[in-house]
Amino acid sequence: MGVVLILLIRGMPTLCPAIDPAPPSCAPDARHAPALVALLVLLAVWAIAATLALLIPDPHPVLDAGSTGAVVVAALLGAGFTLVASGFSIPLLL
């Protein structure tokens, strides 16, 4: 799910200021590198969670929930990083 989310965000349109010359973050391929970094981090977190699940025969429920939560957080942060790295602003509702 997180991989699909990051790959979909990579193709979203960028909000750019109407200035000439346009900033580098407005280039059509500005999200490729951040999306790749986010994808690699997500895959690393997932691999660690999968390894823990395979190596520990009867894990504590907190470890299961923590591993799943770490993958979800990595997916959401990766999506946010991909958007913010290319100049798209995300309003924070606190």
94 pLDDT tier (thresholds 50, 70, 90): very low
Residue 18 lies in a domain: no
Domain count, the chain: 1
Cβ burial, residue 74 (10 Å; 0-12/13-18/19+): buried
Residue 90 lies in a domain: no
0.85 surpassed by pTM = no
Q: Are 78 and 1 in contact (CB under 8 A)?
A: no
Residue 23 lies in a domain: no
Residue 54 lies in a domain: yes
90 pLDDT tier (thresholds 50, 70, 90): low
d(CA 32, CA 46): 21
Residue 71 lies in a domain: yes
Residue 77 lies in a domain: yes
For the chain, what is the mean pLDDT? 78
Residue 64's Cβ-side half-sphere holds a number of Cα atoms within 13 Å equal to: 7
Domain that holds residue 61: 2-13+28-85
